[in-house]
Amino acid sequence: MTKETTLVMFNPVPADDKRFHWPRQCVWLKLNGSWPLKSTKDFQSEFYTTENYSWFLYILWSWYVILSVGVTIVYQTAFLITNFGDIMMTTENCCTTFMGALNFVRLLHMRLNQNRFRRVIEQFVNNIWINREHHPQVAHECENRMNTFRIMTILLSCLIAMYCLLPLIILFVDVGWNAPEKPFPYKMLFPYDAHHGWRYAFTYAFTSYAGICVVTTLFAEDSIFGFFVTYTCGKFRILHQRIDNIISDSYELARTRPNYNDIQRIYEKKLNEIAYDHNKLIEVNIYDDDDDDDNDDDDDDDEMLINFLISSVLICMVGFQLVTGQDMFIGDYVKFIVYISSSLSQLYILCWNGDDLIQHSTETAKHLYGCNWEGTSLHIRNAKKFRNWHRAEQFHLTSIHPTNKVFRQNLQIMILCSQRPVKITALKFSILSLQSFTAILSTSMSYFTLLQTVYNADQEEDRNIN
């Protein structure tokens, strides 16, 4: 991007961590025109300014990307309708058509919800990001967990590279430049002669770049989603550590004046601080609507539902191509193996992160109940869960004050709130979790069995006719 264009990009940075950066995959969201810009109120009032001009060009480019993907899907759909009776052709075409349709919805969704995307980014920077200097262990764990998205990115990058390059290899090695029908990255039917001269080169480049936009949007949006969820789970782990240490930290603060009233005031102050941070954490909504202030499990995410439905069909059809494909070019065979590997890994990583979010949010109640609110002794053998366990001898181990009624009432309310898991739903049809992943695989196997039955019946009928 040029310097002028980057001036209008919305890119907030935490005040206490100038080394903050988004996942590298997010660069593709900026190149595809999906990354939110600064609010229009931040621009200069004059119309003919560099920022306003670059803002207009960026919006225009984003709609061009959406249009190019949409046009490519139309070409693929035309081929699908024309060859609908051929199961092999239909399933091969559906693999690319459905993936294109899924990411067309994603591109359109991000384009039409820029304000929401901007607000989520700002919430993450202000409330979720974990500074490595303050919490090095948790931050390191979060960084390591993001490696799974890098693997997914590599698989999907290999996939689109094979789709774009293999037809060119076939063109120059097998069919030749003068062939009446030349190969394209996907099965498509055009309303014009796209197989000769400059029209072939233009159409090939146009549809190839549309496919690149589709795949890069897929792994970039999934990466930033995983970025949000991973660091939210890390924030929950930090919160759990604070809950576990609430008694020992209170005694450490009050060691110069360890009387009953002072201890109770510190107990309540510590709990209120934790409650405030917990509320901020569960109110950060990755898919919140403008008019919806509920947390994640009340959100109706139509995009996630479409992702689930299309993923089950894609896995089925790619598997069908691998099992039943005969006389398949070795490059196509490798392409479908990479395809199903990337689809399964993408779906598993999303469901794994959703499941991790549920687990971390519900564990809060267990930590609250086990925070030693009843005032039992801190025995050395049980004290390692506290930050200053090695100094436990300095506490009066047999005279820890139990918490008062106000503290226990507030604790009960927090436990009740924590029992409601933070989860991401797909129009309340399904919850993003490992259970959903197994359900999608089961559905895909059912579709696969049905397809194979129909295919075998057609093959048997053809043999009888011959």
pLDDT for residue 459 is more than 50: yes
Is 127 within the bounds of a domain?
Answer: no
pLDDT at position 316: 87
Region 63-88: mean pLDDT is 92
Is 31 within the bounds of a domain?
Answer: yes
Is 438 within the bounds of a domain?
Answer: yes
Chain-centre distance for alpha carbon 363: 22
Q: Number of folded domains in the chain?
A: 1
pLDDT for residue 5 is more than 60: no
Region 337-354: mean pLDDT is 88
Give residue-wise pLDDT tens across range 163-180: 999 999 989 888 888 888
Share above pLDDT 90 across residues of the chain, in percent, rounded to a whole number: 36
Is 137 within the bounds of a domain?
Answer: no
Give residue-wise pLDDT tens across range 409-438: 999 999 998 888 888 876 666 788 888 889
Could you give the maximum distance between any two Cα atoms of the chain, in Å? Answer: 98
Mean pLDDT score of the chain, rounded to an integer?
82
Region 336-357: mean pLDDT is 89
At 386, the pLDDT band (50, 70, 90 cuts) reads: very low
Is 167 within the bounds of a domain?
Answer: yes
Is 134 within the bounds of a domain?
Answer: no
| HSE-up of residue 125 (Cα within 13 Å, Cβ side) | 19
At 48, the pLDDT band (50, 70, 90 cuts) reads: low
pLDDT for residue 293 is more than 50: no
pLDDT at position 41: 57
Which residue range is the domain that position 209 belongs to?
A: 3-12+20-121+144-465
pLDDT for residue 30 is more than 80: yes
Of these ranges, 277-281, 291-295, 299-303, the one predicted with the greatest mean pLDDT is 277-281
pLDDT for residue 306 is more than 60: yes
pTM for the model? 0.83
pLDDT at position 255: 67
pLDDT at position 332: 77
Chain-centre distance for alpha carbon 315: 19
More confident residue, 224 or 264: 224
Is 138 within the bounds of a domain?
Answer: no
pLDDT for residue 34 is more than 70: yes
Share above pLDDT 70 across residues of the chain, in percent, rounded to a whole number: 83
More confident residue, 225 or 390: 225
Region 438-445: mean pLDDT is 88
Is 128 within the bounds of a domain?
Answer: no
Region 106-125: mean pLDDT is 89
Give residue-wise pLDDT tens across range 246-258: 888 887 777 666 6
What span, in angstroms and rounded, lies between the C-alpha atoms of 354 and 436?
10
More confident residue, 295 or 451: 451
pLDDT at position 214: 94
At 141, the pLDDT band (50, 70, 90 cuts) reads: very high
